Structure 1
Amino acid sequence: MHADAHKIREKWAAGEAVAGPFVQLPAPGLVEIFALAGYDFVVVDLEHGAFGIEVAENMMRAAHGRGIPAMSRVLANRPELICAVLNVGAAGVLVPHVDTPDEARAAVRAARFAPRGARGLCPFVRSADYSAAKGPDYYAEASEAVIVGILLEGRSAYESIDEILAIDGLDVVMIAPYDLSQSLGVPGEVDHPSVRETFQDVCARAATTGKTVGIFTEGAEKAAEWVRLGARMIGADVDSQILWHAARAEVEQFRAILAAAPA
């Protein structure tokens, strides 16, 4: 909810980077585990996750109960989808496949109440404490606090990056490194110099606008380079891969112990 969004904004205001995983498995307990582990936020992923808004609401509830902000990647850049995740308690949205300034403006309009936007207004939803928090102050505060992010996944977005970065009400431009590598003609080579140079250029341009640049990465070592180049929002891997690596490491330890056991 909007109070949770301020936790992220305060870190950015202090110059800190934040990191959190994408959660694609329909498991509120995973959200709690990631909160207890110490991540800064989670991304409830409705684009690639195998669940709908009902499960997402319980995942938001788990995040709220454990004091961790929950962003949500929506399925598409549609106002009803953006409104739905904000209604159930998302601190902000990540809108996929934004390629043009007009698409970015549409995402901002859908996420903020008037006069800054046109988000559907209903005082009886979870984000308004089921009407307990309704009133002019709530709408103004929620509209100001919500974090609006877009994912740049096509070459055309980078060709219009200055216009996108100038959009009022847009907080985060998040770069999908695999899509960027493909658009630059080096598909899958996320460490290619052209990918790093493009990312660094976006960070330099964003620095003059107050926008935050984010990026998805797999593992802390890779994240270190992106942070050095200017990233302040790290999509820290995906829940399934985090679990797979942890389980695989433990299995290997068990196998080594069992193999060394006396015959």
Structure 2
Amino acid sequence: MKINKLIKKIAVAAIITTLGTSLVACSGNSAANKSSETKSAGSTLDKDELVIGLDDTFVPMGFKNESGEIVGFDVDLANAVAKKLNKKVKFQSIDWSMKETELNNGNIDLIWNGYSITDERKGKVEFSKAYLNNTQVIVTLADSNVKTKADLAGKKVGAQNGSTAVDAVEAEANVLKSFDGGKLVTFDDNNAALMDLEAKRLDAIVVDEILARYYMKARGVEKYKVLTENFGSEQYGVGIRKGDTKFVEAFNKALGEVIADGTAGEISKKWFEQDILVK
């Protein structure tokens, strides 16, 4: 009988301990959920500093110069818009294929680096209004016999991983299927793809025209050829966390002011020798 009573006491104690642990866990989860809700409910507009994620090899939008300083058209434009918003700016290099994850996890506040507006991306982020036009062009070496998309059959074609160049090519399944191996050769950045093109390890690359023209000018336009056919036009916008409409509205107002007062036009002339902004 004494043994049975002891067993019962142990069992009751175990139940009480389990219930207590469960209540603490529930309380902890509730607090964590509330913390998460509070974090998600806040707007980027409430921050003093904007952390901008970028691929630091994407000339001329945002890249490291010879001194290791991050410079570029988007960098200058971001600083001008941040000034209108009365915010400080920090530029943070990221893996471009992880850009939306970095944004939605709160590691960065904006994706701003030649970020093309697409329907798929609209499901992951809020976009600012468009500020530049772009085209996904096909670049080969000047002496290449590739003149059309049809000529890419059996050829090695490269593009940056996680870019809209990949999306644009994959949208034309029959063309993609004709490539060597039936697929693109992808790279972490466009510079690596262009170097492989120059080394003739690739026959062509698909890349943002804005980057391609700037790169070719720096390396010698006579070395390259841009095909007449392309993989479609698009526009650049700034990626903002999903649901943060408060910041989208304030951001678009500030961007509009920078364009209207001529500041953005001067930045464009600095990098492109002309004002190419979407008005």
TM-score (norm 2): 0.24
Q: Which structure has greater strand proportion?
A: 2
Say which structure, 1 or 2, has more relative contact order (CA 8 Å, 6+ apart): 2
Larger radius of gyration: 2
